[in-house]
Structures are given as structure tokens and as C-alpha cells.
Structure 1
Amino acid sequence: MTTVKICGLKDTETVRSVLHLPIDHIGFLFAKSKRQVTPAQAGEMVKVIHRSRERGNRVPLTVGVFVDPSEQQLAEVMREAPIDVIQLHGSEDAAFCKWVRDTYRVQVYRVCSVDNQSAQTIEEALAPYAGCIDGLLLDTAGGGTGRTFEWNRIPDYLAWTNRCGIPLLVAGGLHPDNVEELLEAYAPDGVDVSSGVETDGVKDISKITAFVERVKRHESHASA
């Protein structure tokens, strides 16, 4: 199954509007961004998701996106908005990832900005993270650019995540019109979208629905 992550949600109304869709992760940005939310804002959205879970509904995991967070920032967020996954998008080393996972008993996803590293360099860079993270997410260098990276780099990372038994998610410039192409060519374990399902900087429910439907359509064709 290909997982779907919708990132950068900012209000409870949007959260309620997407909970009926087969989305696996909902992401909240705590790093500096036009989509940044406060711990209190995220807490209100997390409450909406938890209430839906309590009613017996299938709900997505909540993901907090950070860039080189301090221990104080993490503590404040986890107090106000107890999330399921902490996604680290900065220069965090393997020891910090392990500390976060052990301290908060959450999953940790490490983001890797894709550049022109060789396969050997990729192996060397990722080796310390084996056993310290629960998922790897590839994004365009710089993050939040709305641009794709060179997808032919994906197999090198996918080989590593397969050996480690963790999922590989792909972000960076995805939208409803190119996600099936990515899935057909490279079959990552999950996809992550933010600006690609927005209109004028605001999450567009019709675009989110189209994105999810096209991921699921690819799944049904692949299994046929």
C-alpha cells in the first residue's frame, strides 16, 4: 500500500474536511514557513483527529515537521499537541533522532534533501541512521520549493530503506497530475504533498481529493 501524507494543514476546518479520505499522515509545520503553526493551533487540530479516532473511525497519524528543533521546542509541542511522528528536516544527527524517539516514544522520520550524491556517498551518509529512524523522506534540496528533484536518484535510497525495513516517502513538487508517473516509475512506499494541493496558498479540498484518488487508482491498477 502506498501511504499518503498531506502536509502543512493550518486549521481544524480543513482537517475535518479531509478525514473521510484514505489519508495516512497529516503534517503540521513547526519550522519557519508560511504554513507554520503554533503548538496551540496544532493541538486543536490534533484534538479533532483524536475525537474522530475515539468514535471508532480510521484516522491518519499526526506528523510534526521540525528543522533543527531545540529540546525546549519539542517539549512544548508535545505538551500542547501530542503527535505520532516527528519529522526532522534539518541537520539532526542519528544520536538526536534516537534521543527523540526514546524520549517521546514516537516514530521519527528523517528528511534527506536530494542532490547529486553518489550511491556510495548515500550509503555512508545514511549508515549511522540505521536503527535510529522509522522512515526516510526524500525532498528537493531547500524543501518547500514546489519543485521536483531528479527522480532517478530514488532507487539508491530505496535500496537502503529496503535493507533497513523502513518506508521511503517522496516529497517535492508532487501534485495530482504527476503523482501516478512517480508511482509507476519508482514505486516508493509513500508520497507527501503540500503546495501541490493548494490554490493561492490555501489547501484545496478538491485537489487533495484528486491527489488521493490518483494514488489509490494507481494502487488498484498495480494490483489488478
Structure 2
Amino acid sequence: MSEEARLREEICLLAKSMFDRGLTGGSTGNISARTPDGGLLVSPTGTSFGRLDPSRLSRFDADGRQIGGDKPTKEMPLHTAFYDTRSTAGAVVHLHSCHSVAWSLMPEVDEDNFLPPLTPYAIMKLGKVKLLPFFMPGDPAMGDAVRGLAGKRSAVMLANHGPVVAGKDVEAACNAIEELEDTARLAILMRGHQARRLSDDQVRALVTKFDVEWDT
């Protein structure tokens, strides 16, 4: 099996795993990954994460021209914005995960640091997550908003919509976006309680020890 064929299978396998566990439903969510030749594989528009076909993934060459597969997701501007601004991005995942969307609706959320410091893992895997305003689905302005961050964030939360995460590869991106959802769920569970968050000193120690990108 070629490296690209393995990548196609991995994309579909991980997408189905997220679908089966309720992290995104129906035909929501989209996923992409860099191919060995510098192109992209992208989930097609209107498809379910539970039923992606490896042979029908949208295929782009290194110059951004579609050369195979079905029509890509309408959220392509989000994906290309991350690839164009983050040289380390090897994959991008966007979900409509319930708890992260719910947390984006809360009035106390910090727009510059979306997730509260409840556990070390979101800090280690995501750094600071930027909460972006609401955009109409498919609006190219979402990509413009990501570009405006100049590559300083690996993850954003689209208000009333869902998270978008870039990682070094498909597995890393999926693991990180699941950590984002888990932390948002914890935030919802702890809302109204006097939860003991990580201190600023503990956060700084994590950032230093694990060499976390921490945009200040």
C-alpha cells in the first residue's frame, strides 16, 4: 500500500471513530491532510464522518488545483488558511462538537484564551485557543480571521459553530480536537462550582517544560 493510500485510510478511520463517539453528527465536520507530494486530501462536501470513502476524498495538487475526488467541503478557506500560515500543519480537523459549542455561548468565556486551565493536557496539545466570532457557514471570512492570527494559534473556536484544529499529522490533529472538546465539557460540568483551576505558575511551568506555543 502506498503512503497516500495509507493516509486516505487513516483519515477515514479516525473520522469514523469521532463520528461513532458522537463528536460530530450527520454530515457535519470536515478533515484534511497534507499528502507526501505537498498536495491535500480533503473530505467532500455533504459527507458524513461515519461513511467517508477513501477513494472519493477530494485531492488537490501542491499548487491548490483539484485533480481528483468529489467536490470538497465548503469550509476549504478554513483549511487553507491554517496550511498557509502554519508551516508545521500537516492536517486540519473541524467538528461541530456539542460541549465546545455550548462553552462558546457562555458570557464569561475569554475570547483570547477560550479554554479554562483545568487540566494540563489542553495546554500541552493546543496552547491558547482563540474564540472567533460567528460567521455564516462557508463564509470565506472565516479563513481571513484565521489568517489574521498570523500562524500564532494551532486552534480556534468558531462561536456558535465548532472548533478547528491544525496538527502535525492527522492523528495529532484529531487527538488535540478531542482534548478541546473534553476540556469544554469539563468547563460546562464545573460551571457554577468553585473549581480549583491550574495556577498561572503551573501553566507557565507546563508551557516551559513541554515547549508549548503560547501566544502572549
Fold match by TM threshold 0.5: no
Q: Which has the higher helix share?
A: 1
Q: Give the TM-score band, short-chain normalised.
A: 0.3 to 0.5
TM-score, normalising length from structure 1? Answer: 0.35
Q: Which has the higher strand share?
A: 1
TM-score, normalising length from structure 2? Answer: 0.35
